[in-house]
Amino acid sequence: QGAMFRCSARCCEDGSASMQEVQRCIERCHAPLAQAQAIVTAELEHFQDRLSRCSLQCRDQAKDALDSGGSEPKVRGLLDSCLASCGEQHLRLVPAMARKMRDGLAAIQ
């Protein structure tokens, strides 16, 4: 962030630059931050979407089991173990997600 602020400050040092030129210069300074935020946001949204789909599938399975006459305690147990499995599967994805974020951020610099 310090580099971004120094870059922005340099944009304002040219007394002959128009306001538009200064604005464009500052936008160029902030572009890497915007790119970094987009990379992190996209990865987190993808992860959240996958986790959400997994939990929806668990709920569908539980509903099907109830509709087929399964007892409520048994179905609740199935749902709980399915949701726990979703959590475990997705925890295993975190290191790869973090690596993709790191690689994406490193490419910006």
Query: Does residue 109 surpass a pLDDT of 70?
Result: no
Using DSSP's 3-state secondary structure scheme, residue 69 falls into coil
Q: Are 8 and 22 in contact (CB under 8 A)?
A: no
Q: What is the pTM of this model?
A: 0.74
CA distances from 51 to 60, 82, 87, 90, 93 (A): 14, 12, 8, 7, 10
**Residue spans per domain, the chain:** 1-107
Report the 10 Å Cβ neighbour count for 74: 11
pLDDT tens digit string along 37-94? 999 999 999 999 999 999 999 999 999 999 999 999 999 999 999 999 999 999 999 9
pLDDT tens digit string along 4-28? 889 999 998 888 889 999 999 999 9
